[in-house]
Amino acid sequence: MKTTSPLTLTVSAVSALALAACSTSGTSTDSPAGGDAPTLTVATAFYPLQFVAEAVGGDHVAATSLTPPGVEPHGVELSPATVRELSNTDLVLFIDEFQPAVEDAIEATGVTALDAAEVIALDSAEEHADEEDDHGSTDPHFWLDPALLADYAIAVGDRFASLDPTNAADYAANASALADELRDLDEQFTAGLATCEHRVIITAHEAFGYLAHAYDLEQVGIAGVEPDTEPSPARLREIHGIIAETGATTVFTEELVSPKVAEALAQDSGVVTAVLDPIASVGDGDDYRGVMLRNLDALRTALACE
Protein backbone atom coordinates (compact mmCIF):
# COMPACT_ATOMS: atom_id res chain seq x y z
CA MET A 1 0.00 0.00 0.00
CA LYS A 2 1.53 3.26 -0.98
CA THR A 3 1.61 6.31 1.19
CA THR A 4 1.89 9.50 -0.78
CA SER A 5 3.14 12.88 0.25
CA PRO A 6 2.40 14.85 -2.94
CA LEU A 7 4.75 17.62 -3.74
CA THR A 8 2.87 20.85 -4.23
CA LEU A 9 4.11 24.23 -5.20
CA THR A 10 2.39 27.48 -6.02
CA VAL A 11 4.25 28.51 -9.12
CA SER A 12 5.48 32.10 -9.25
CA ALA A 13 5.55 32.17 -13.02
CA VAL A 14 3.17 35.07 -13.41
CA SER A 15 5.77 37.65 -14.32
CA ALA A 16 7.44 35.34 -16.82
CA LEU A 17 4.16 34.57 -18.52
CA ALA A 18 3.16 38.20 -18.45
CA LEU A 19 6.38 39.20 -20.17
CA ALA A 20 5.86 36.49 -22.76
CA ALA A 21 2.27 37.58 -23.32
CA CYS A 22 3.40 41.14 -23.99
CA SER A 23 6.23 40.13 -26.29
CA THR A 24 4.35 40.97 -29.47
CA SER A 25 4.50 44.65 -28.55
CA GLY A 26 7.89 44.83 -26.86
CA THR A 27 11.44 43.69 -27.37
CA SER A 28 12.36 40.25 -26.01
CA THR A 29 15.59 39.96 -24.10
CA ASP A 30 16.18 36.74 -26.08
CA SER A 31 16.08 38.56 -29.43
CA PRO A 32 19.20 39.90 -31.11
CA ALA A 33 19.93 43.59 -30.60
CA GLY A 34 17.66 45.51 -32.91
CA GLY A 35 15.83 42.33 -33.95
CA ASP A 36 12.09 41.78 -34.10
CA ALA A 37 10.19 40.70 -30.99
CA PRO A 38 9.05 37.05 -30.84
CA THR A 39 5.92 36.24 -32.81
CA LEU A 40 4.62 33.40 -30.63
CA THR A 41 4.30 33.09 -26.86
CA VAL A 42 4.53 29.48 -25.69
CA ALA A 43 4.06 28.12 -22.18
CA THR A 44 5.61 24.73 -21.56
CA ALA A 45 4.66 22.39 -18.75
CA PHE A 46 8.25 21.70 -17.68
CA TYR A 47 11.87 21.75 -18.84
CA PRO A 48 12.24 19.16 -21.66
CA LEU A 49 9.31 20.69 -23.52
CA GLN A 50 10.77 24.17 -22.99
CA PHE A 51 14.11 22.93 -24.34
CA VAL A 52 12.42 21.85 -27.56
CA ALA A 53 10.29 24.99 -27.84
CA GLU A 54 13.31 27.28 -27.51
CA ALA A 55 15.44 25.31 -29.97
CA VAL A 56 12.69 25.03 -32.58
CA GLY A 57 11.27 28.51 -32.09
CA GLY A 58 14.53 30.42 -32.04
CA ASP A 59 14.04 34.19 -31.99
CA HIS A 60 10.43 33.85 -33.16
CA VAL A 61 9.20 32.25 -29.92
CA ALA A 62 9.19 33.40 -26.30
CA ALA A 63 8.99 30.18 -24.27
CA THR A 64 8.39 29.94 -20.53
CA SER A 65 8.04 26.98 -18.16
CA LEU A 66 5.17 26.46 -15.74
CA THR A 67 7.50 24.46 -13.49
CA PRO A 68 10.35 26.49 -11.94
CA PRO A 69 13.94 25.20 -12.12
CA GLY A 70 14.82 22.75 -9.38
CA VAL A 71 11.22 21.65 -8.79
CA GLU A 72 10.01 18.10 -9.35
CA PRO A 73 7.16 18.62 -11.85
CA HIS A 74 4.80 15.70 -11.15
CA GLY A 75 2.76 17.43 -8.44
CA VAL A 76 3.23 21.07 -9.37
CA GLU A 77 0.35 23.46 -8.69
CA LEU A 78 -0.45 26.76 -10.41
CA SER A 79 -1.58 29.96 -8.73
CA PRO A 80 -4.86 31.52 -9.91
CA ALA A 81 -2.89 34.44 -11.35
CA THR A 82 -0.71 32.08 -13.39
CA VAL A 83 -3.81 30.36 -14.74
CA ARG A 84 -5.26 33.72 -15.80
CA GLU A 85 -2.03 34.70 -17.55
CA LEU A 86 -1.97 31.34 -19.34
CA SER A 87 -4.95 32.40 -21.43
CA ASN A 88 -2.77 35.08 -23.06
CA THR A 89 -0.34 32.61 -24.59
CA ASP A 90 -0.53 31.29 -28.14
CA LEU A 91 0.23 27.68 -27.27
CA VAL A 92 0.81 25.38 -24.30
CA LEU A 93 3.02 22.30 -24.65
CA PHE A 94 2.13 19.60 -22.11
CA ILE A 95 1.73 15.86 -21.55
CA ASP A 96 -1.68 14.49 -20.60
CA GLU A 97 -1.97 12.59 -17.29
CA PHE A 98 1.34 14.00 -16.05
CA GLN A 99 0.54 17.29 -14.29
CA PRO A 100 -3.13 17.57 -13.31
CA ALA A 101 -2.83 21.27 -12.41
CA VAL A 102 -1.58 22.09 -15.90
CA GLU A 103 -4.34 20.06 -17.53
CA ASP A 104 -6.96 21.78 -15.37
CA ALA A 105 -5.58 25.21 -16.33
CA ILE A 106 -5.69 24.37 -20.03
CA GLU A 107 -9.30 23.27 -19.71
CA ALA A 108 -10.26 26.31 -17.64
CA THR A 109 -8.72 28.85 -20.02
CA GLY A 110 -9.45 27.14 -23.33
CA VAL A 111 -5.93 27.99 -24.50
CA THR A 112 -4.59 26.22 -27.58
CA ALA A 113 -2.46 23.26 -26.49
CA LEU A 114 -0.39 20.44 -27.94
CA ASP A 115 -0.40 17.20 -25.96
CA ALA A 116 2.78 15.21 -26.58
CA ALA A 117 0.65 12.06 -26.52
CA GLU A 118 -0.93 13.26 -29.77
CA VAL A 119 2.39 12.83 -31.60
CA ILE A 120 4.30 10.25 -29.50
CA ALA A 121 2.86 6.81 -28.73
CA LEU A 122 3.36 6.68 -24.97
CA ASP A 123 4.04 3.36 -23.28
CA SER A 124 1.88 1.89 -20.55
CA ALA A 125 3.12 2.64 -17.06
CA GLU A 126 4.56 -0.25 -15.11
CA GLU A 127 2.55 -0.81 -11.94
CA HIS A 128 3.37 -2.87 -8.88
CA ALA A 129 0.57 -4.98 -7.52
CA ASP A 130 1.09 -3.59 -4.00
CA GLU A 131 0.99 0.07 -5.08
CA GLU A 132 -1.71 2.53 -6.00
CA ASP A 133 -0.42 4.96 -8.60
CA ASP A 134 -2.64 7.96 -9.29
CA HIS A 135 -0.41 9.05 -12.13
CA GLY A 136 -2.45 7.56 -14.96
CA SER A 137 -2.10 4.64 -17.33
CA THR A 138 0.89 5.88 -19.36
CA ASP A 139 4.54 6.63 -18.75
CA PRO A 140 5.20 10.26 -19.78
CA HIS A 141 9.03 10.21 -19.72
CA PHE A 142 9.48 9.80 -23.48
CA TRP A 143 12.14 12.54 -23.65
CA LEU A 144 14.69 10.15 -22.13
CA ASP A 145 14.79 8.44 -25.53
CA PRO A 146 16.51 11.05 -27.75
CA ALA A 147 15.06 9.52 -30.90
CA LEU A 148 11.53 10.06 -29.61
CA LEU A 149 12.38 13.62 -28.60
CA ALA A 150 13.61 14.16 -32.17
CA ASP A 151 10.20 13.09 -33.48
CA TYR A 152 8.55 15.45 -31.00
CA ALA A 153 10.74 18.33 -32.18
CA ILE A 154 9.50 17.87 -35.75
CA ALA A 155 5.88 17.89 -34.54
CA VAL A 156 6.46 21.07 -32.54
CA GLY A 157 7.96 22.71 -35.62
CA ASP A 158 4.87 21.79 -37.60
CA ARG A 159 2.59 23.26 -34.92
CA PHE A 160 4.59 26.50 -34.72
CA ALA A 161 4.41 26.79 -38.49
CA SER A 162 0.63 26.37 -38.46
CA LEU A 163 0.33 29.21 -35.92
CA ASP A 164 2.92 31.45 -37.62
CA PRO A 165 3.11 30.60 -41.34
CA THR A 166 5.33 33.61 -42.06
CA ASN A 167 8.22 31.93 -40.23
CA ALA A 168 7.39 28.34 -41.20
CA ALA A 169 10.68 27.80 -43.03
CA ASP A 170 12.68 28.81 -39.96
CA TYR A 171 10.70 26.49 -37.71
CA ALA A 172 11.21 23.60 -40.11
CA ALA A 173 14.95 24.24 -40.35
CA ASN A 174 15.35 24.58 -36.58
CA ALA A 175 13.33 21.44 -35.91
CA SER A 176 15.36 19.48 -38.45
CA ALA A 177 18.64 20.67 -36.94
CA LEU A 178 17.54 19.75 -33.40
CA ALA A 179 16.29 16.36 -34.59
CA ASP A 180 19.67 15.67 -36.18
CA GLU A 181 21.45 16.54 -32.92
CA LEU A 182 19.14 14.28 -30.94
CA ARG A 183 19.58 11.38 -33.35
CA ASP A 184 23.34 11.81 -33.04
CA LEU A 185 22.92 11.62 -29.26
CA ASP A 186 20.87 8.46 -29.74
CA GLU A 187 23.74 6.95 -31.73
CA GLN A 188 26.17 7.79 -28.91
CA PHE A 189 23.94 5.96 -26.43
CA THR A 190 23.56 2.98 -28.76
CA ALA A 191 27.33 2.67 -29.17
CA GLY A 192 28.14 3.42 -25.54
CA LEU A 193 25.73 0.83 -24.14
CA ALA A 194 26.21 -1.85 -26.78
CA THR A 195 28.60 -4.07 -24.82
CA CYS A 196 28.14 -4.04 -21.06
CA GLU A 197 28.65 -6.62 -18.32
CA HIS A 198 25.27 -5.79 -16.76
CA ARG A 199 21.94 -4.80 -18.34
CA VAL A 200 19.76 -4.11 -15.26
CA ILE A 201 19.40 -0.58 -13.89
CA ILE A 202 18.00 -0.07 -10.38
CA THR A 203 16.35 3.37 -10.39
CA ALA A 204 14.77 5.63 -7.77
CA HIS A 205 11.51 5.58 -9.72
CA GLU A 206 10.29 4.23 -13.02
CA ALA A 207 11.27 7.21 -15.15
CA PHE A 208 13.69 5.38 -17.44
CA GLY A 209 11.48 2.89 -19.25
CA TYR A 210 11.91 4.54 -22.66
CA LEU A 211 15.68 4.76 -22.22
CA ALA A 212 15.85 1.13 -21.11
CA HIS A 213 13.74 -0.04 -24.04
CA ALA A 214 15.77 1.96 -26.57
CA TYR A 215 19.12 0.55 -25.43
CA ASP A 216 18.24 -3.02 -24.43
CA LEU A 217 18.37 -2.44 -20.68
CA GLU A 218 16.00 -3.60 -17.95
CA GLN A 219 14.66 -1.00 -15.52
CA VAL A 220 13.83 -1.98 -11.93
CA GLY A 221 12.23 0.97 -10.16
CA ILE A 222 12.10 1.36 -6.40
CA ALA A 223 9.02 3.57 -6.77
CA GLY A 224 6.55 3.65 -9.63
CA VAL A 225 6.11 6.38 -12.22
CA GLU A 226 5.19 8.77 -9.40
CA PRO A 227 8.51 9.55 -7.66
CA ASP A 228 6.91 10.06 -4.25
CA THR A 229 5.32 6.60 -4.21
CA GLU A 230 6.37 4.79 -1.05
CA PRO A 231 7.72 1.30 -1.88
CA SER A 232 6.42 -1.51 0.26
CA PRO A 233 8.76 -3.75 2.30
CA ALA A 234 7.91 -6.55 -0.13
CA ARG A 235 9.05 -4.42 -3.07
CA LEU A 236 12.34 -3.59 -1.35
CA ARG A 237 12.96 -7.27 -0.60
CA GLU A 238 12.24 -8.06 -4.25
CA ILE A 239 14.76 -5.50 -5.48
CA HIS A 240 17.33 -6.69 -2.94
CA GLY A 241 16.97 -10.15 -4.48
CA ILE A 242 17.30 -8.78 -8.01
CA ILE A 243 20.55 -7.03 -7.06
CA ALA A 244 21.94 -10.25 -5.62
CA GLU A 245 20.80 -12.32 -8.61
CA THR A 246 22.03 -10.00 -11.36
CA GLY A 247 25.20 -8.72 -9.75
CA ALA A 248 24.07 -5.11 -10.15
CA THR A 249 26.62 -2.75 -8.65
CA THR A 250 24.66 0.50 -8.40
CA VAL A 251 21.38 1.92 -7.15
CA PHE A 252 20.58 5.14 -9.01
CA THR A 253 19.28 8.19 -7.16
CA GLU A 254 17.93 11.51 -8.46
CA GLU A 255 18.60 15.17 -7.67
CA LEU A 256 14.95 16.12 -7.06
CA VAL A 257 13.85 13.03 -5.13
CA SER A 258 14.91 12.13 -1.60
CA PRO A 259 17.70 9.52 -1.85
CA LYS A 260 17.10 8.01 1.61
CA VAL A 261 15.29 4.85 0.49
CA ALA A 262 17.71 4.25 -2.39
CA GLU A 263 20.72 4.81 -0.15
CA ALA A 264 19.38 2.43 2.49
CA LEU A 265 18.71 -0.22 -0.15
CA ALA A 266 22.21 0.19 -1.58
CA GLN A 267 23.79 -0.08 1.86
CA ASP A 268 21.80 -3.19 2.72
CA SER A 269 22.76 -4.73 -0.63
CA GLY A 270 26.45 -3.80 -0.44
CA VAL A 271 26.42 -1.67 -3.59
CA VAL A 272 27.05 1.99 -4.39
CA THR A 273 24.76 4.83 -5.44
CA ALA A 274 25.07 7.19 -8.40
CA VAL A 275 22.86 9.88 -9.93
CA LEU A 276 20.76 9.11 -13.00
CA ASP A 277 18.87 12.26 -13.92
CA PRO A 278 15.38 12.10 -15.46
CA ILE A 279 15.93 15.69 -16.68
CA ALA A 280 12.61 17.01 -15.45
CA SER A 281 14.57 20.14 -14.55
CA VAL A 282 18.14 21.37 -15.03
CA GLY A 283 20.51 23.56 -13.05
CA ASP A 284 22.28 26.70 -14.14
CA GLY A 285 24.60 26.06 -17.07
CA ASP A 286 23.06 22.68 -17.86
CA ASP A 287 20.96 21.63 -20.80
CA TYR A 288 19.30 18.45 -22.02
CA ARG A 289 22.24 17.18 -24.05
CA GLY A 290 24.80 17.81 -21.30
CA VAL A 291 22.75 15.99 -18.67
CA MET A 292 22.06 13.10 -21.03
CA LEU A 293 25.80 12.69 -21.63
CA ARG A 294 26.36 12.62 -17.86
CA ASN A 295 23.69 9.94 -17.66
CA LEU A 296 25.52 7.95 -20.33
CA ASP A 297 28.77 8.14 -18.36
CA ALA A 298 26.97 7.05 -15.18
CA LEU A 299 25.35 4.11 -16.96
CA ARG A 300 28.58 2.99 -18.59
CA THR A 301 30.34 2.98 -15.21
CA ALA A 302 27.53 1.18 -13.38
CA LEU A 303 27.03 -1.42 -16.10
CA ALA A 304 30.74 -1.98 -16.75
CA CYS A 305 30.49 -1.20 -20.43
CA GLU A 306 33.43 -1.58 -22.80
Asked if residue 68 is part of any domain, the answer here is no
In one-letter notation, the amino acid at residue 225 is V
Count CB atoms within 10 A of the CB of residue 142.
24
pLDDT at 89: 97
pLDDT at 119 over 90: yes
Q: Check which CATH number belongs to the domain holding 196 and give it.
A: 3.40.50.1980
pTM of the model: 0.86
> Which residues form the domain of 208?
191-301
For the chain, the C-alpha Rg in angstroms (whole number) is: 20
Asked if residue 234 is part of any domain, the answer here is yes
pLDDT at 136: 56
Asked if residue 216 is part of any domain, the answer here is yes
DSSP labels, 141-173: -GGGSHHHHHHHHHHHHHHHHHH-GGGHHHHHH
Asked if residue 265 is part of any domain, the answer here is yes
Asked if residue 81 is part of any domain, the answer here is no
Report how far apart, in Å, the C-alpha atoms of 216 and of each of 122, 192, 201 are.
18, 12, 11
Task: Tell which residue, 280, 236, 233, 238, has the closest CA to residue 256.
Answer: 280
Asked if residue 39 is part of any domain, the answer here is no
Asked if residue 65 is part of any domain, the answer here is no
Adjacency order of strands within the sheet including 40-44: 61-65, 40-44, 91-94, 113-115
Pairing relation of β-strands 200-205 and 91-94? unpaired
87-107 tens-digit pLDDT = 999 999 999 999 999 999 999
DSSP conformational letter for 68:
-
Q: Residue 35: which pLDDT band, with cuts at 50, 70 and 90? A: low
Q: Residue 229: which pLDDT band, with cuts at 50, 70 and 90? A: confident
pLDDT at 137: 81
Structural domains counted in the chain: 1
Asked if residue 117 is part of any domain, the answer here is no
| 47-57 helix and 146-163 helix, angle to the nearest 10 degrees | 60
Contact 69, 281 (CB under 8 A): yes
Contact 40, 91 (CB under 8 A): yes
Residue 79, SS3?
Answer: coil
Contact 155, 119 (CB under 8 A): yes
Q: Is the dihedral of CA 229, 289, 71, 79 positive or negative?
A: negative
60-87 tens-digit pLDDT = 999 999 998 888 898 899 999 999 999 9
